[in-house]
Amino acid sequence: MSLKKIDTRNIVLALVIVAIAAVRLLTLKYQVWSNFTPVGALAIFGGVYFNQKWKAYAVILLTFFVSDVIINHSYTGQWSLWSSDTFWNCVCFSITVFIGSQIKKLTIINSAVILFAPVTVHWLIMDLPWINGAASLYPYSVLGYWEALVAALPFEKNMFLGDAVFGLILFGGFELAKSKYTVLRTNHKLAL
């Protein structure tokens, strides 16, 4: 294979995503950091920067799937490829990648979308009363949904803070790297 056929930009993006996703594993040892993870920031980052959007979905979903298997094993002691929330997490991540894929350039408004979209998508979907076994805690009603949303705020706050910190690292770091290394640039706008 010739060096011209190697897509350095995509390789770097995938390696950055896998490396930063490994931070999720730190919450196993330091549970005080629960939900302070890069998951939302990674999903939207992948959506923004992969030019071929199928690669964003593939890398993000595969990375989260593998890290979920490891995390679930550490809690249960058993290897399981599927947990009760795997499907819904994939839905949340896919929606977030899609939102990122719609961003054409980094502006103040788009930066706000990058900051708030991942946690909002996660909060609105994962706190539906019939997801994650919350049905025993909250009724299947608008009031039950509202109660679940309010109860989730402390967890979502940690996710928001994690997305903010890791988003700044990811987006700032990649933009800085693009300014130094031409191989990371593309002739296209951020997203096609």
DSSP 104-125: -S--HHHHHHHHHHHHHHHHHH
Contact 39, 118 (CB under 8 A): yes
> What whole-number distance in Å separates Cα of residue 166 and Cα of residue 91?
21
Identify which of 161, 164, 162, 134 has the alpha carbon closest to the alpha carbon of residue 149.
134
Q: What percent of the chain has pLDDT over 90?
A: 43
140-178: per-residue pLDDT in tens? 888 888 988 998 898 889 899 999 999 999 999 999 999
Judged on CB neighbours under 10 Å (0-12, 13-18, 19+), 189 is exposed
- Provide the mean pLDDT of the chain: 85
More confident call, 26 vs 9: 9
**Type and span of the H or E element at 51:** none
20-36: per-residue pLDDT in tens? 988 888 877 777 777 78
Give pLDDT, residue 132.
Answer: 62
Tell me the one-letter amino acid at 68.
D
87-121: per-residue pLDDT in tens? 888 999 999 999 999 998 888 898 999 999 999 99
Contact 6, 12 (CB under 8 A): no
Task: Measure the CA angle with vertex 157, ends 101 and 98; round to 5°.
Answer: 10
1 pLDDT more than 60:
no
Give pLDDT, residue 175.
Answer: 92
**DSSP type of residue 45:** H
Name the pTM for this structure. 0.86
Residue 34 backbone class (left: φ over 0; alpha: ψ -120 to 50; beta: rest): beta
pLDDT classification of 187: cutoffs 50, 70, 90: low
User: Dihedral angle at the C-alpha atoms of 61, 24, 43, 189, nearest 10 degrees?
Assistant: -120
